[in-house]
Amino acid sequence: MADVVENGNSGGGTSTPAPPAAPEAVELPAELPTPSDLFHPDRVASFKRELLDFLGDLVPPGDPPWDIGLFEGYGRGLLATRDIAVNELVFVDRPILVGPRVNNYEVIFCASCCRILRRLQLCTGGCRLPICARCDFGVGPESPHAAECALIQSWQPKDAGRYSKNILYALTSIRGFLLTERDRSIVLQMEGHAPRKEMTTEIERLLRDGYFWNLDGAGPSVRYMRQIVNVLNTNAFETSRIVADEENNDHEIILRGLYILGALMNHCCRPNVRYVFDGELRMRVYASRPIRKGEQIVNNYSKILWGTQHRIIHLCFSKNFLCCCERCKDPTESGTYLGALKCVRESCPEGRLLPVNPLKISSVWRCDRCDLKMDNIKATKIQEIAGRMILNNAIKRDSHYIIDYLNDHILRFLLPTNQFTVELKLQAIKKIQADRPLAELREKEKYCLEILDVLAKLDYGECFVKGVLCYELFVTRVTLAGLLDESGIATDASNLEQLRTAWQILGPSGNRPKDLQQLVVKYGIE
């Protein structure tokens, strides 16, 4: 009888199965390809053939609207082979690797199929992972978990009767051993930046804490796994599954997926695509703005509503490059002032402090009204304090508190469109549900309009966040119409346009709001 892991308890027992056979090492090629190998035109052409073979039917017959190109300073990237209209589907991709990520999961789920049960068995194979009865190793070779479990068993886990979070976190890289030869070749041709010195990856954690009797830290298996981790860290996307528990409560299980075609899109802080994941975890990429033939197809790796300095630091640390796009160069970020601070001089209530050279973290800041200068250490400190107050405290409170906090406190020392103010307003939008009082719903409507205005100034086009805000705005106005007994608010042409936009953007998503389709039918939107 296997041990049980209960949700809310990291559980454990002692059963240890007999050690299985020694692992089959996966050899890396003697030398990993260097960027100049990877970016050689012949190599790019053979890589594209392998990728098309992997994608199979997902690429419709005829010439796709994308090709793999080489771009100075970026490496490979995708380019448009023809003009692509806004909202047009650019491509569909499927994950070559998918699984859990290093994440503080609130619920325990089946490591194989993500089902959530109140009491999940530990796998009888001794891999230390929580597994449902359908996926258990004991089911035999038809279990989707059998091969990865056999591999983990072959490394001889210590403490085999106890649930291990760290093995769960490493599972996506472990799955790298199960790739076919073609898929492994594709994955190993992706860029994989080595981790920063201060970072302990999921593999290093397993080795450091001695999780296995039979895994040689200097051997070929670990060398291979390290490369898979590097490729995942450079290229993987966050995706998720919505899974219902036994009480029918939905939970979002955050996963990481390696989508090769998706990963070939380079970064721009003003991207020209948006993407969603459908119910099968396929990635569907649409043009969020018109894309001209020959233009790069670019995605955003960061948070679009962060200010420049936050995006730059995030991209440098996580993806090893300095973005120098037009948005990054403009201290006002197209007049949105997302990263700007309020002037600290009492005599200058309208002043905005901006970095003189936003591409330089050490840049001096200057007020656009009174010319006051501030060094970057002080400006960073103010942002840190604001960030801590908002992200560690206010954001966790109820909607009533957040609204008061925004009106009475935050807006006295932060600009209404500062990134932290915007983040707090986004949280308020999520929290203000239809059962809240009229005044709160009015605030929610205002926040939606304000953030939609920021997106319009950034010329972000038909991006994912716009879809979310249009949906929230529409449902809020429907609620307001009911409360005020003015049905016209709901069916007003401009409000129906919000619903149309929300449907266009969120409709193909596997995680779209539950009532969206019903609303589309009810209000006759095509």
Ligand X SMILES: C[S@@+](CC[C@H](N)C(=O)[O-])C[C@H]1O[C@@H](n2cnc3c(N)ncnc32)[C@H](O)[C@@H]1O
Q: Are 96 and 84 in contact (CB under 8 A)?
A: no
Nearest to 177 by CA among 22, 25, 292: 25
Residue at 281: amino acid letter: L
272 binds ligand X per the rule CB under 6 A: no
Q: Which of 94, 162, 256, 267 binds ligand X (CB under 6 A)?
A: 267
Residue 423 touches ligand X, criterion: CB under 6 A: no
Encoded tokens for 184 = 């492994």
Residue among 189, 226, 222 at smallest CA distance from 34:
189
Instruction: Give the interface segment with ligand X, choosing from 110-118, 261-269, 431-439, 515-523 (CB under 6 A).
Output: 261-269
Interface with ligand X (CB under 6 A), residue from 93, 148, 191, 472 = 191
How many residues line the site for ligand X (CB under 6 A)? 18
What is the number of residues in the chain?
526
Map residue 251 onto helix, strand or coil: strand
**What type of residue sits at position 63?**
D
Taking CB under 6 A as the rule, does residue 73 contact ligand X?
yes
The binder of ligand X chosen from 112, 121, 235, 417 (CB under 6 A): 235
The β-bridge partners of 69 are 77
> In whole angstroms, how close is the CB of 277 to ligand X at the nearest point?
17
Minimum CB distance to ligand X smaller for 264 or for 463: 264
Q: Chain centroid to CA 273: how far?
A: 15
Give DSSP secondary structure letters for 427-475. Answer: HHHHH--TTS-HHHHHHHHHHHHHHHHHHHHTT--S-HHHHHHHHHHHH
Map the footprint of ligand X across residues 75-114, applying CB under 6 A: 75-77
Q: In angstroms, what is the minimal distance from the CB of 68 to ligand X? A: 9
Tell me how far, at minimum, the Cβ of 283 lies from ligand X, in Å: 13
Q: Is 349 in the site for ligand X (CB under 6 A)?
A: no
Nearest residue to ligand X by CB is 75
Q: Which is nearer to ligand X, 321 or 413 (CB)?
A: 321
Q: Name which of 148, 141, 149, 144 is nearest 114 in CA terms.
A: 144
Q: Please name every residue paired with 98 in a beta bridge, in sequence order, or none if there are none.
A: 257
Local structure of 384: helix, strand or coil: helix
Nearer to ligand X among residue 226 and residue 366 (C-beta): 226
Full DSSP string of 291-346: B-TT-EEEE--S-TTS-HHHHHHHHHHHHS-----HHHH-TTTTTT-TT-EE-S-T
Q: Segment near ligand X (CB under 6 A), from 159-167, 189-197, 367-375, 383-391?
A: 189-197
Binding status of residue 236 toward ligand X by CB under 6 A: no
Q: In terms of CB distance, is 333 or 445 closer to ligand X? A: 333
190 versus 455: smaller Cβ distance to ligand X: 190
Q: Which stretch binds ligand X (CB under 6 A): 88-96, 111-119, 320-328, 433-441?
A: 320-328
Nearer residue to ligand X within complex by CB, 320 or 517: 320
Which of the stretches 68-76, 87-95, 195-203, 225-233 binds ligand X when contact is defined by CB under 6 A?
68-76
294 or 482: whose CB is closer to ligand X? 294
Work out the number of other CB atoms within 10 angstroms of the CB of residue 446: 12
Distance CA 377, CA 464 (A): 34
Q: Does 190 bind ligand X (CB under 6 A)?
A: yes
Q: In the complex, what is the shortest distance from the CB of residue 4 to ligand X, in angstroms, rounded to a whole number? A: 40
Comparing CB distances to ligand X, the nearer of 43 and 251 is 43
Instruction: With both helix axes pointing from N to C terminus, report the angle between 438-457 and 419-431 in degrees, rounded to the nearest 10.
Output: 140
Q: Which is nearer to ligand X, 245 or 330 (CB)?
A: 330
User: CB-wise, 128 or 270, nearer to ligand X?
Assistant: 270
Which range touches ligand X (CB under 6 A), out of 270-278, 316-324, 377-385, 496-504? 316-324
The span of 101-109, 319-327, 387-395, 490-498 binding ligand X (CB under 6 A) equals: 319-327
Least distance (Å) between residue 456 CB and ligand X: 23
CA distance 428 to 8: 28
Task: Give the angle 123-126-129 at the CA atoms, nearest 5°.
Answer: 50
The two structure tokens encoding residue 215:
């895994």
Q: HSE, CB side, 13 Å, CA atoms: give it for residue 479.
A: 19
Angle at alpha carbon of residue 366, lines to 456 and 395, rounded to 5°: 55
Closest approach of Cβ 256 to ligand X, in Å?
13
320: contact with ligand X by CB under 6 A:
yes
- Is residue 323 near ligand X by the rule CB under 6 A? yes
Among 28, 103, 242, 321, binds ligand X (CB under 6 A): 321
The strands making up 373-374's β-sheet, listed across from edge to edge, are: 341-342, 352-355, 365-367, 373-374
Q: Report the C-alpha gap between 403 and 407 in whole angstroms.
A: 6
CB of 311 to ligand X, least distance (A): 11
* 91 beta partners: 285
Q: Does 393 bind ligand X (CB under 6 A)?
A: no
Which residues here bind ligand X, judged by CB under 6 A? 73-77, 190-191, 193, 234-235, 263-264, 266-267, 319-321, 323
